[in-house]
């Protein structure tokens, strides 16, 4: 059964969402889980591709940026990055969504992760998606890092 986890960061900058996604992806691969990162554009996909190499000096997150040329990979790495013009064809356990819309319905995973910033736009989008998932009877867990903290 699919479940969803929402993280509400006490941050206001998009870069912070991407760094948090890198940390979640690293944690997932240490649990032998496959992750797909759903990005809003090729530029955003390139950015997180670079971050996965540099977000921590001592980390290594094996990953691939899915493109038209990468569709022949026989053994995909634990983390795959995609954007609207391409889609992952390998199964995954987790989808970390970094777009402003829900991930494509074709993405079948056990766990969907949403990361929101502490901004009205980001929180509004998260509320809408929460309602959608709740209406589909999907279990939702919320981690709100804004409670009792300042930015």
Residue whose token pair is 């356990």: 93
Q: Which residue has the higher pLDDT, 16 or 107?
A: 16
What is the percentage of the chain residues whose pLDDT exceeds 70?
89
The answer to whether the pTM exceeds 0.85 is: yes
Tokens of 20: 């948090």
Check whether 127 has a pLDDT greater than 60.
yes
Per CATH, the homologous superfamily of domain 3-144 is DNA polymerase III subunit chi (3.40.50.10110)
Tokens of 91: 């199964």
């Amino acid at each position: 059964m699919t479940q969803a986890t929402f993280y509400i960061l006490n941050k206001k900058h998009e870069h912070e969402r991407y760094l948090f996604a890198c940390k979640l992806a690293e944690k997932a691969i240490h649990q032998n889980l496959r992750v797909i990162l759903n990005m809003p554009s090729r530029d955003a996909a390139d950015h997180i591709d670079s971050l996965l190499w540099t977000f921590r000096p001592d980390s290594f997150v094996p990953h691939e940026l899915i493109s038209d040329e990468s569709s022949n990979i026989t053994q995909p790495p634990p983390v795959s990055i995609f954007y609207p013009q391409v889609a992952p064809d390998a199964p995954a356990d987790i989808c970390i969504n970094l777009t402003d819309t829900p991930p494509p319905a074709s993405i079948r995973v056990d766990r969907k992760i949403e990361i929101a910033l502490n901004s009205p736009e980001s929180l509004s989008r998260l509320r809408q998606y929460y309602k959608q998932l709740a209406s589909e009877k999907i279990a939702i867990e919320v981690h709100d890092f804004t409670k009792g903290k300042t930015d």
